[in-house]
Structure 1
Amino acid sequence: MNNILFFVTISATLLLPQSSANAYAECPKHEEVEKPRPELFVFVGKKVSIEYFNPNESLEQPKQDGSEECQVEYIVLDAGFKAKYKVIKPVFGNVSSKYINFKFYTHWGEVQLPKGKNTLLFIHHWPNKNVSAKYLYHDVQKTYDGNWGICGDPYFIPPEKINSKRPDHYAFRKPPSKLKFIKKTHKIPKWVENEYINEMYPTQYFKVKGRKAKCQGYGYLVEELFEIEKKGAWQLAWLFTDPNEANSNAQ
């Protein structure tokens, strides 16, 4: 492990310009300014496009004059993807646009991107940018009554595998309810290895035959998914916490 850390440190150093070390020494320290919280947009979106971009293409160049505007260079270790989705159904937030452009950042590349055409998305919105909440989305499908939901229980963990290293952060959720989906049978993605099929497609919610899974008619609507994630997802919890209350509790 130490050898790996040493290699990463050396590699990162080589990627920076020769002057970067001096820039860190010359740049004055700034007082930390509390960043404004983003708005949260939650909606069902239909994929229009997703394309890779290098988040390190336009690194901020450090100034060498010691001025207050001095900024040090940094390296983003995640892959970046520019996405465009058509808004099919707003769920939360002031989602008024027909299309929304935003960015995904993932540590393992495309494998961590949504696979379906229609996805429940959680977008952090600032005045000048939109960024997807990291690793937080649900590929969803349409129900016969015109709503959207997900088959089964995406939070399911086999009881024998729940422990201190893998706790059930969503234990508070209610069981999936009866839903009637238009499309019941789906191909199991190639990236799902055979040994994980029973965990990802448990028999109480799916009938698996070969590499196909048939929904048994239970799941969560997108509104229910949002309420669950609002309480259980670390990517959203801070948006629904009163900072003044948090500070008073810490004292």
Structure 2
Amino acid sequence: MKTIRIVILALLSTFISCNSSIKASKNISVGNRNDSINLYAFIGEKISVEEFNPNINNKVIEKEIDEETGDSVSVIRTHFVTDNAFRCKYKVVKNILNNLSNDTIEFLAYDHYGKPSFSEKDSVILYISKNKKDNYYFHQKYQYDKVFKDKNGNYYSYPKFSKDIEDLKYAKENIKGFKANFKDEKFNLNNLSPEVRKVYYPGEFYEIKNNFAIPIKGVYLNELINYRLKTSFKDL
């Protein structure tokens, strides 16, 4: 007679990993396709962002072998998600890396702090991947870039930095960029030490004024996606 064991797993975060590795040239062009990278980058225009309870119907029955008896047993696993969960629908304005075939895309997003920051803007650069087993797209947690357009209609943004000093090193060596006016983009520095400020808001890319960091260098999409592939998504 088969026994049923209930195993409850409490997940501290909704970390989703991919098995693909980055093999793209650092000179990859906007619109390129690379099937070895499970990443889709695009400019998206918000249609809807709706919160849902990720812990409804969260029980999964799996088959395992009982170590003592050797019998096949059914194990009910319950996964608890502690993040806020959202169903997002966006219009695909422009594909940047790996084309999405439809003009709209739906994906899941998880955020530990509340509603995702990217949803505060009508249009942003988004980074999503595909769960090929269950056939759905999910947002790369916390990853997005604000998007702007110059007088000639070209899209651009500005580089952001994390505590990884290698990201800054790569940017200094590879990003040429151009002088841009981001006067409405201000980052409060009150709670950051001088050492941390230098890493997150380096002088080559930001101006410090009245205790705020303001971007001063823009990057077009080609440079931006190469920077992202070599830094934020280097471990995909």
8 Å CA contact 2:61–2:74 kept in 1: the answer is: no
8 Å CA contact 1:116–1:140 kept in 2: the answer is: no
Aligned equivalent of 1:172: 170
For 2:211 and 2:149, locate their aligned partners in 1 and report how far apart those are by CA, in whole Å: 22
More helix by share: 1
Find out whether 1:150 has 2:195 as its counterpart. Answer: no
For 2:230 and 2:87, locate their aligned partners in 1 and report how far apart those are by CA, in whole Å: 28
Structure 2 CA distance for partners of 1:211 and 1:144, relative to 1, 3 Å: farther
Shift of 1:126: 3.5
More strand by share: 2
Aligned equivalent of 1:186: 184
Amino acid at match of 1:134: K
Amino acid at match of 2:48: S
Amino acid at match of 1:135: Y
Aligned equivalent of 1:160: none
How many percent of aligned residue pairs carry the same amino acid? 23
Aligned equivalent of 1:23: 6
Aligned equivalent of 2:143: 136
The count of corresponding residues between Structure 1 and Structure 2 is 193
Higher RCO (CA < 8 A, seq sep 6+): 2
For 1:209 and 1:71, locate their aligned partners in 2 and report how far apart those are by CA, in whole Å: 56
Find out whether 1:105 has 2:110 as its counterpart. Answer: yes
For 2:193 and 2:93, locate their aligned partners in 1 and report how far apart those are by CA, in whole Å: 30
Deviates more, 1:98-107 or 1:167-176: 167-176
RMSD: 3.8
When normalised by structure 1's length, the TM-score is 0.61
Q: Can you give the 5+ residue segments of structure 2 that lack an aligned partner in the other structure?
A: 9-17, 21-36, 64-70
Structure 2 CA distance for partners of 1:70 and 1:143, relative to 1, 3 Å: same
